[in-house]
Every structure is written in C-alpha cells, then in structure tokens.
Structure 1
Amino acid sequence: MRGVLAICLLQLLLQHYFSGATIFKMTNAVCESYNKSWVEFGVCRLRAISRNKVCLNLDAMLHHPVTNVFVKAQLMKRANGYKPWLYKVNFDGCQFIRRRNSALIRLVWDLFKEFSTINHTCPYVGMQRIRDFHLRTEKLPTPIPTGDYLLLIDWIFNKKTQAATNIYFTFVEDL
C-alpha cells in the first residue's frame, strides 16, 4: 500500500513539475509587406487561449508564383533593447523543403509544420496559412534562458525582400 501511495505522489509531483515549470508565451506578431503586388497579409495576430497559451494565426496571399524563396532569420534577446543572440540563419526555403538538410532549420520546421499549409515544394502561390500555432515546451530541443525574445524573419522572393514577420515572445523557466 505504501509503494502505491509513494508512486502516486511521485507521479503527481512530476506532473506538476512538468506541466507548469516552463512558460512560452507569444506577446506580439508584426507582419509587413514591402511589395503588396507580391504578398499581402490578411491576418497576422495572436489569440489568447488561456493565461499562458497564445496561438498565432497568419494568412499570406502570394499573388504571383514564387519559385525562389530565400529566408533570413535572426533570434534577438531583450537586454537594454533587442540585441542579436546566438542564432542568425540564412537559407534557401525551396531547397530545404525538398531535402530538409539543415538540422537547426529542421528543428524549427518540426515545431510548426502541423499548423501550416507550407508543406509542399516550390512554387508557392495563393493563400499560405499558419493556424493556431502554439509551442509545446516538450518539443523544444534545448532550454533557453528566461527572457524576452524577438524572432525576425525576412522573406526574399526572386532576390528582393518582399515581406517581414516579427514574432515577440517570452520564455520563463521556473526552476
């Protein structure tokens, strides 16, 4: 009887520790089109589900077929303003979707692929969506320090910067 009680208590403690120990919360989403004849954002907003869970919804209408996608992404951390922090990546989006050859980009891709319509190879045309994206902390590959972060993404179509998406988020790890 004592063994069963000890196992139940251990299970409850572990469940409490893993359920509320980490908070990942998106705080703002900003989408900007530099050339509305190529890309327009219909929706770019966050929706609160609960106190610690926020979902991202994004609709991007691509007016012309895009066969050459280049992505520049940078993770910034807030410390007296947003400063570059650890990751700055440039990659060919069409090549990555065909081969998935970059480990870092693949980790990020695995986080949001189930929420997105961007799951086929180039060319991209028409409505591209991300619906109800929320990060589950168990999918984070490595812990990051507590703080406020900004993910800057520039979308380059046919060698011209056409759009930018900026996602602000807070990460709190309660040790």
Structure 2
Amino acid sequence: MFLTKAFAARFKFTNTQCETYNKTWVTIEHCRLHAISRHKTVLNINATFHYPATNIKIRLQVLKKANGYKPWLIDATVDACAFMQKPNHPVVKMIYNWIKNVSTVNHTCPYMGPQQVKDFYLTPQQMPLPLPTGEYALFLTWIFSNLPQFTTNVYFTFVEDLLKQ
C-alpha cells in the first residue's frame, strides 16, 4: 500500500489595525476581522476619502515574526495611480488580484468617497509562491500628495502541512 502525500496549507487572519493620521482627508469607519469558522476569518475595511486623491503612493512591507516582527521579504514604495494604469509591480499585482473582486479600489485615480474591502479571505491556492510556516504582517502606509494619510496593518498565520493525507 502506497501513502499518498498531498500538500495542504492554511492562511488565517489574526489581527488588523488601521490608523488615520489626517481625519480631515480620510476617516476609517471600520477595520475588522469577522470569524466565519474555526479556520476562516474575513477582512472588512471601510474608509472614506473626503477629497479626491490623485497622487497616491503605497509603502508595502511584509514582515515575519521572529522575536517581534522583522522585515522579511519586501519593503517597497509603489505609485498606486501609475500601477492602476499599468500593473508593473509583481507583488502589488498579486495583492491587487486578491482584492479586486471584493473591493472598490478597482479603477484608476482619482479616488474619492467610500472605499472598502469586504469579506476578503485568502486561500493557499491564490498564493503563487509558497511561504514558510509562520506568523506574518502586511503593513500598508497610504501616502497622498507625499504625506502619510493612513495605515492598514494585517496580521496572519500561514501553516503548511507537507504530510497531510
């Protein structure tokens, strides 16, 4: 009898924090996780942009927990408006492909009014590259007209089980 080995993995959001630095430009109505089941948690973020945002940059940081969260793979700043016209950054393109169907940020600049990510859930099948098992954080700093306006920090765990049958 042969044992068949199948790759199994699981993402789970563990925390989210959003903070606005300039409430006259951006207000965050809510930034929360909602537990659907034991292994499935969805992310919901609602923000309102009070003025048209046409010069948007995003500082993207991926961190891994090892005696605190340490820079792990990526620390880059991307021009979001240019990206929406021509998606040319592979990591941002991957994240955008994850959220484009569950968010209102699927158009080019300017952005104004309510912006949201609703019921976002990540599956291992959406991840083109494997991650080592561990706790991670995705920090996004949203910069409008060269001034940081707000941050969205999402924490998650990734568990791989190479011997799951």
Q: Secondary structure at the match of 1:145?
A: coil
Q: Deviations over 1:88-128 (max 9, x none)?
A: 12100000001112222111111111111101111100000
Is residue 32 of structure 1 aligned with residue 9 of structure 2?
Answer: no
Determine which structure has the larger strand proportion and give its number.
2
Match of 1:5 in 2: none
Counterparts of 1:139 and 1:169, CA distance in 2: 15
Q: Secondary structure at the match of 1:115?
A: coil
Q: Deviations over 1:32-60 (max 9, x none)?
A: 00000010110100001111111000001
* Structure 2 unmatched runs, 5+: none
Is residue 42 of structure 1 aligned with residue 42 of structure 2?
Answer: no
Match of 1:110 in 2: 97
Q: 2:72 aligns with which of 82, 85, 92?
A: 85
Match of 2:148 in 1: 161
Determine which structure has the larger helix proportion and give its number.
1
- Identity percentage over the alignment? 49
Q: 2:83 aligns with which of 81, 96, 106?
A: 96
Q: Secondary structure at the match of 2:100?
A: helix
Counterparts of 2:147 and 2:47, CA distance in 1: 17
How is 1:141-156 mapped onto 2 (pairs within 5 angstroms)? 141-156=128-143
Higher RCO, 1 vs 2 (CA within 8 Å, ≥6 residues apart): 2
Counterparts of 1:172 and 1:109, CA distance in 2: 23
Q: Which amino acid aligns with 2:31?
A: C
Q: Which amino acid aligns with 2:25?
A: W
Q: Which amino acid aligns with 2:85?
A: R
Is residue 59 of structure 1 aligned with residue 53 of structure 2?
Answer: no
Counterparts of 1:104 and 1:50, CA distance in 2: 28
Q: Which runs of 4+ in 1 moved over 4 A?
A: none
Q: How many residue pairs align between the two structures?
A: 162
